[in-house]
Structure 1
């Protein structure tokens, strides 16, 4: 039975549950009143656009206003208002965040302040403070997401290897002891259906549960491209005593989709191809789909030793598998004829990885004379195993952009292109102290000492190649904050970070240079100055930040052997960010941002067949971007609410890929959001994205892999509490 069948069978069942529940609770006003109070209490923590706690930025309960770092938190209220179903729905709402090549639809990929993860590994991402995406991971679902924290700047001092532009931390929903049950169903353009159930409550006085199930059958404006997803996420909270809590979470996510590399934009002469249908699929419908499965377990024990001291120990295990075949267009300017005929290849993928992490930390508050300390010390260790097999075949018949003919030949037999294993082991000690020198001056310092080992084994050619490397890394950060008033604070910070270089090198030697050695890790340093604002009622807040970041040891083609790579590149990013979010009035909430990001090569980049000169802009990074989202909520006389909102996203022009052959044009998209809260139990919604049906491109990797944006899309939804 397919996911589509599951979804369509669940839709009427959930509608029936919702309507039945509404009828039953209406007949019993006492029960309705009791559940209403519980639902309101549960949502208070996530009901504001502006979140005043720093969250993952310090791993402590430091207020955002006192943190010497730019942090943007997308709350559950924002996710609900825009009806975000996937993590990438949040990218346009945060300054300095830009979309990147998403591996044909197989993962979430983004850049913060101009820095993206490696082409074949993606950016650094956390899930409840644990690494969330080592290896190849399916796009995240938001059904079990409480909030998304964008931690700007290097996070290596607390979390280890990461990109210097910033790190994304997804915080999941937790079990509640007050009963709540929510069912949601959505139907949208392009034959898109989604249904979910979120149930939480007490199993006993000391044990609470939460069960979240979401199924999606998502159509597409792209020919022959759709996806199916299934999320099952049970979790439990056990109060072992008045000061001790045990939490366990399981997440199972299955994602199935064909790889879609988008369309070609330029021919071999460098000319723009005219009149291309944005729906055109350049693969083969009969090549099959890629299926991704991810199992994530997280277990944590928290204990309060006193009012001032608390400890936490946690363990996480993640197991991923990706497999499937595809036909996709070849990269390179010479792969497209002036008549629009595109060369293609067949590829097969069989990826397996497992990731085991352990964390232990102690946080306490104490004084030395007149200085107050918020002290944190911890250890962290992980072991990551990654096995990737890639297959290829003889040439596949080319396809014409204007008159595609599918199934011209039986797909040829696949043979092994590369087969490698990678093992990473890491152990780290981190220390952080936040000092309140006076009521106005706050000082923060942190150090992380990390011992990292990488083992690579390529097995395509007998007897294969093995390489090992060890690194000891110290990642410092320091910051100072001046709290001028309860409303305004100024801050400055400096930090360093690193990230292992485990990317492709050339031929079948994944992660190795021409001499068979591994690459030195990327190393970065960053400066940031900023101003934070918070209204007196703490419901509206904003941030202005200036930053300057440099990253070294970026992989570039080896001049002596361009088929391989060396760690010798440098990239820089400087810019300005503005963010504002919260309640403008009791009925009007806002989220808005603007970013100027000047991200460019600091040294010449040696590509396979050319040199990209220093000063060239990094791919898919706009210099200017902005967004605004407004939601007006009007109470009704019967106790319901009526919401009407909208907003726009602007993305400036961007270079298409490493060779910077052309620019993707700038664009503006507009969204419309409406809902009718009929009563405390039922809510109807109607949303339109890309209201004016603008044609645009979200990202590109080369001239043959440009991804068109989604045309106008309408979605009708129903939410029921019971």
Structure 2
């Protein structure tokens, strides 16, 4: 194997291509490792993850981590983050707010139903406030950090956290322009350009514009993204990085279809149950991240560096949407609805400072991290609403819908006007110890001091709370051979709850506990690897409905998730690469005032799995690639089953299991021009990705083909 040239140069190789740390080894018989646009060859298997904040290779880290590389995203034709979620073990889709944001559960545990999953962007909190479905145009890789991350990042879910790593500037000029057209009136264009602006300054800019129809009646989305990045070598050992992002997502809020008589096939999957005359809901966000790293000392195997970071994120939701109520009327066809106008705005400011060092003390290798973090978050929510009533029901016939004109829509009236403020200061410490050749010990703890206030601007009531949290973590790895690792870890987590109870008191935070044990394997050449992990997670102080005060919540619930997940990724030989996942999860309610104890958690299948295979070769003197993927999800609860439903003998509402296939192919027409074809839902199966209740069920997309042209210049 010989690599004749590599189109990555300069001293930022490690930072620019962390998703491909062994890229020269992995690119067998490929003359050029591509750094912009879609890659024709590259890594599935990664050896490092920024989100772990340690120099330990992932094989030695006592934690299950799955990295979805840029090559994986390209092979999947993923233009949104949720296009890749079915190919990671332990991940299940959740309610996505009518298509207005991303939301998943990791290891059976979802985040806040009003804010979505735990998510980081380049190590900063990325999911406080509002953010539309994330575009992949500026994403280098997605790191799935399984298990509790509170010891490093504070408020989070005990099942796991995502860290999205965006593309960094490179020190060699390269540009790529891509265009796509596909089924259901999909049109998309992207630009990726990078290179030096001066001897010490490099830039990168990613842009995307997309218009996408759908099989859903009236539902069209439009999205624009602009993501600039700069790197400045301010002095020897000192680097300043800036990464920005502007994204705008517009479309009808689409809560999906309703089950009629418990049957999902009673309505066509295209049936829209909102009002087209409401117009688009717009989700907009702006992100600025600035980091400075200065190397204090680097000699004799010892390295110490200071890092400071500042992030500013603003988000908003603006628009009107008609949404169905919880159940059909007794006639089995009339669905009452509510109409909401939302004017939501959020602002999040984060400051971090860290001292990181690798040194040997007392014959033991230490990888030390000491950090402080503070953030200020503000969330303004103003809602106007009309609710259905018996005298003037705002309803639709789901079997024969008649939509209203703009002048027939009911007038919305003031309902909610609140301002929430959060302040947090935290101190965290982590040390990864290399105890000889065979043992690794990872210990960490974080202390959070949290302040929260909620002002009801309609009533004048102010609610405050100041909870503190201590989040420890401890893990150990044993390396019996150069290829195998056995590991175990335990940790705690917390997540503040928003809102108040019927008495106006703040809702206490959720708390979680998780233990994990498993094994890792990596091939001798580092091109492939696998992880198998068993886990046991408990979460208490979960928000649940207050049976004594309908419409209010209390902290009284508890849930549990146990099971296993497995991932295998990498290059099988010179032509084949593979990505496979499997999870078996038993997630259930263990205590609640309203829900049935023992009921499964919504949208969490007991079994799901996936396989993605890609073959690359040369035909007629030109490189080509073909591949395919299969995903499987077992049946799962479609809503939260209540004790009242159990007493009444109401049948369990479940989403059916499904198997889905996709195909992908590409051919390099010239050294600078490539053609691609992606076909999703190859056999046009009807399936349902998630639900919130029986009248909010999201159908999966029908078969769709996308033809693309990728040009490099």
> What TM-score do the two structures reach when normalised by structure 2?
0.91
> Which position in structure 1 is the counterpart of 2:5?
none
> Which position in structure 2 is the counterpart of 1:20?
none
Equivalents in 1 of 2:279, 2:689: separation in Å?
25
Q: Secondary structure at the match of 2:285?
A: strand
1:445 to 439, 443, 446: 443
Instruction: Confirm whether residue 488 of structure 1 aligns to residue 484 of structure 2.
Output: yes
2:160 to 132, 141, 166: 166
Equivalents in 2 of 1:62, 1:545: separation in Å?
19
> Which position in structure 1 is the counterpart of 2:427?
429
CA 1:277–1:530 in 2, change beyond 3 Å: closer, same or farther? same
2:493 to 493, 497, 507: 497
CA 1:440–1:672 in 2, change beyond 3 Å: closer, same or farther? same
Q: Equivalent residues in 2 for 1:533-612 (5 A)?
A: 533-603=521-591, 605-606=592-593, 611-612=594-595
Instruction: Confirm whether residue 183 of structure 1 aligns to residue 180 of structure 2.
Output: no
- Contact 1:39–1:180 (8 Å) recurs in 2: no
Shift of 1:687: 1.0
Shift of 1:373: 0.8
2:231 to 237, 246, 271: 237
Equivalents in 2 of 1:42, 1:277: separation in Å?
38
Equivalents in 2 of 1:403, 1:214: separation in Å?
38
Equivalents in 1 of 2:122, 2:404: separation in Å?
46
> Which position in structure 1 is the counterpart of 2:278?
287
1:657 to 639, 653, 656: 639
> Which position in structure 2 is the counterpart of 1:407?
404
Which whole-Å deviations, capped at 9, do the CAs of 1:56-110 have from their partners, x for residues lacking one?
12x1222001101000000000111111100111110101100011000110010
Moved more, 338-347 or 467-476: 338-347
> Which position in structure 1 is the counterpart of 2:70?
76
Structure 1's unaligned 5+ residue stretches are 1-34, 503-510
- Contact 2:78–2:136 (8 Å) recurs in 1: yes
Equivalents in 2 of 1:39, 1:617: separation in Å?
45
Shift of 1:548: 0.2
Instruction: Confirm whether residue 626 of structure 1 aligns to residue 617 of structure 2.
Output: no
Shift of 1:329: 1.2
> Which position in structure 2 is the counterpart of 1:204?
198
Equivalents in 1 of 2:264, 2:436: separation in Å?
63
- Contact 1:95–1:593 (8 Å) recurs in 2: yes
* Higher helix proportion: 1
Q: Secondary structure at the match of 1:306?
A: strand
> Which position in structure 2 is the counterpart of 1:110?
104
Equivalents in 2 of 1:83, 1:44: separation in Å?
11
Which whole-Å deviations, capped at 9, do the CAs of 1:395-418 have from their partners, x for residues lacking one?
464212221111166112211111
- Contact 1:394–1:412 (8 Å) recurs in 2: no
2:364 to 357, 360, 371: 371
Instruction: Confirm whether residue 140 of structure 1 aligns to residue 134 of structure 2.
Output: yes
Q: Secondary structure at the match of 1:632?
A: strand
Shift of 1:138: 0.7
CA 1:336–1:273 in 2, change beyond 3 Å: closer, same or farther? farther
Shift of 1:38: 7.5
Equivalents in 1 of 2:548, 2:38: separation in Å?
60
> Which position in structure 1 is the counterpart of 2:648?
none
- Contact 2:37–2:710 (8 Å) recurs in 1: no
Q: Equivalent residues in 2 for 1:288-307 (5 A)?
A: 288-307=279-298
Equivalents in 2 of 1:273, 1:111: separation in Å?
23
Shift of 1:45: 13
Equivalents in 2 of 1:421, 1:560: separation in Å?
27
CA 1:709–1:299 in 2, change beyond 3 Å: closer, same or farther? same
- Contact 1:38–1:179 (8 Å) recurs in 2: no
Instruction: Confirm whether residue 221 of structure 1 aligns to residue 212 of structure 2.
Output: no
> Which position in structure 2 is the counterpart of 1:330?
325
Q: Secondary structure at the match of 1:612?
A: coil
Instruction: Confirm whether residue 128 of structure 1 aligns to residue 111 of structure 2.
Output: no
- Contact 2:356–2:368 (8 Å) recurs in 1: yes
Moved more, 659-668 or 239-248: 659-668
> Which position in structure 1 is the counterpart of 2:15?
none
2:675 to 675, 679, 684: 684
Shift of 1:339: 4.1
Equivalents in 1 of 2:698, 2:35: separation in Å?
41
